[in-house]
Amino acid sequence: MNNTNPKGALSGLRIADFSWVGAGPRATKDLADNGAIVVKIESRRRLDLGRLSPPFKDGKRHPDGSAFFAQTNTGKLGVTINLGDPRGVELAKKLIVWADVVVENFSKGYLDRLGLSFAVMRALNPRVILVSVSVAGRSGPLSAMRGYGNSAAALSGQAALAGQPHQAPHMPPFAYGDVVAPLFATVAVLAALEQRRKTGVGQHIDVSQVESLMHTLAGTFARLQAGAGLEELRGNRSVVASPHNVFPCRGPDQWCAIAAETDAQFAALCQAMRQPGLAHDPRFATLAARKANETDLEALIAAWTRGQDKHLLGQALRALGIPAAPVQDGREVFTDPNLILAGHYQRINHAVLGACDMPAPPMQFSRSAIEVGPPPCLGEHNALVFGEWLGIDAAELERLAAEGVLA
């Protein structure tokens, strides 16, 4: 792509980011990578849990040394405010006046108790857009619920659908709700900006992790209402393709995903297996037949894949037009040329982490720039933001710091 315009698509946009951990910060990371000025508001009194999350530089816990925090907060500026002090709340109000967009994921009612309800924000700044991210949303009977990504997986039906058929619900070792909801929050910010250009006023948008997850399961909800059973929609198999699973390959815990979405792809797979007759075998000749005999079919394919290199197998099958790919681990993803050549990882220089690679948004513009900058150290930009931008003089800032307002 030819980036003739060095500016990000959101150049000049101002964001006051009160969010923490994952569900809000991932959204504001994307906005920062696209040129927005994001001021992350934190407190030393209660650190963003991301700052406490491994991996750490040299394995030593340090609030500015978490790579997990870094990749979730690239390109942001960092300030510290003690919102438990009324003078801290006044500082927050100044940032709300400064901002185009405010993002938060506090417990329900927390901002209201501080005197920072959306009504107050709007009185201070009629153009401000507030985006709230929570598990169940800010309205409705479950809105007071406190929880994490696991609650979102549970309430959305995702956990019950995950896992193998006829086994207990499954939750993978990462919070997928903390991934999907921030994407919806980013959409919310951008759609509200587009609307503000027409109306001149902001609005309060309420993003629920559960609703975001359910949105990505629309096809599954449709199938279940049309008569499909829950168990047939679990695991790796598909109701519209067979085979559709992972198959063992050479080496411990090595697998290759293989799918035949058409009879032609299945015939090509049979050719690759040097068993072309299988394509005409009444047990496997049609999708319905393959679904009825799927366990037998998978055993035949597994007997063929076992002992083969997963990368070469995937490559050979794709060359025949068959969707196939190795199951990659963290090392293979980090070193994948498909990602490196695409600029998926961008180099940052950070005071504590040093020079390291951070993931960029998954897109390339012909004009707009994407720039992944270092994450902020705790309170790194207090002087810049409070002093230079908000006009608080140095003596006052020193006093506020000494009295714990900037903690």
Partner 1 sequence: MLEHVRVLELTSGLGDYSGRILAQLGARVTKVMPPGADRSSLDWLAVNHGKQLRELALGTPVGDAALLEMLHDADILLLGVPPLPGALGADFSARFPALIVVELAAFAKQSPMAGEPVNDLALMALSGIMNIVGEPDGPPLKLPGDQAYALAGIQGVIAALLALNDRASSGQGQRVRVSAYQSAVLAGYRDPIVWEWTGRLGRRTGNRLVRGQSGVRQVWACKDGYVTWSMVDNPGLMKGTVALMAREGAAGVLAGVDWEHTLVADLPQTQIDAWEAPVEAFLLAHTTTELVAMAAEVPIGLSVIATPAMARVEPHWAERGFWRQVHDPVRGLDLQLPGPLFVVQS
Q: Any idea which residues carry the catalytic annotation? A: 178
- Write the interaction track for partner 1 spanning residues 179-198; mark x where CB under 8 A is met and - where it is not: xx--xx-xxx-xxxxxx-xx
Which residues ranging from 263 to 282 are in contact with partner 1 (CB under 8 A)? none
User: CB-wise, 252 or 391, nearer to partner 1?
Assistant: 252
Query: Which segment (74-82, 281-289, 321-329, 390-398) binds partner 1 by CB under 8 A?
Result: 321-329
Window 192-251: residues binding partner 1 (CB under 8 A) = 192-195, 197-198, 203-208, 210-212, 214-226, 230, 233-236, 238, 240-241, 244-246, 248
Cβ neighbors of 108 (< 8 A, separation 6 or more) are 134, 138, 143, 144
Taking a C-beta distance cutoff of 8 angstroms, is the pair 77, 38 a contact? yes
> At closest approach, how far in Å is the CB of 376 from partner 1?
18
Question: Shortest approach of partner 1 to residue 403 CB, angstroms?
Answer: 24
Phi, psi of 255 (to 5 degrees): -140, 155
Q: Nearer Cβ to partner 1, position 140 or 276?
A: 140
- Shorter beta-carbon distance to partner 1: residue 188 or 385: 188
332: contact with partner 1 by CB under 8 A: yes
Which 122-181 positions form the footprint of partner 1 (CB under 8 A)?
Answer: 132, 136-143, 145-148, 150-151, 153-164, 168-176, 179-180
Stated length of the chain? 407
Tell me which of 318, 388, 393, 394 binds partner 1, using CB under 8 A. 318
Q: Which of 115, 307, 364, 394 binds partner 1 (CB under 8 A)?
A: 364
308 binds partner 1 (CB under 8 A): no
Sign of torsion over alpha carbons 64, 354, 13, 79: positive
The span from the CA of 343 to the CA of 40, in Å, is: 26
Q: Which of residues 76-115 bind partner 1 (CB under 8 A)?
A: none
Distance (Å, rounded) from C-alpha 245 to C-alpha 258?
Answer: 6
Separation CA 374–CA 73 (nearest Å): 8
Residues 360/33, Cβ–Cβ less than 8 Å: yes
- Within 10 angstroms of residue 164's Cβ, the number of other Cβ atoms is 11
Q: Considering only residues 30, 42, 48, 64, which one is a binding residue for partner 1 as defined by CB under 8 A?
A: 30
At 232, give phi and psi (nearest 5°).
-75, -10
List beta partners, residue 248.
Answer: 255
Nearer to partner 1, 363 or 394 (CB): 363
Considering beta carbons, is residue 94 or 108 the nearer one to partner 1?
A: 108
User: In angstroms, rounded to a whole number, what is the distance separating the alpha carbons of residues 191 and 10?
Assistant: 13
What is the CA angle 226-261-292, rounded to 5? 65
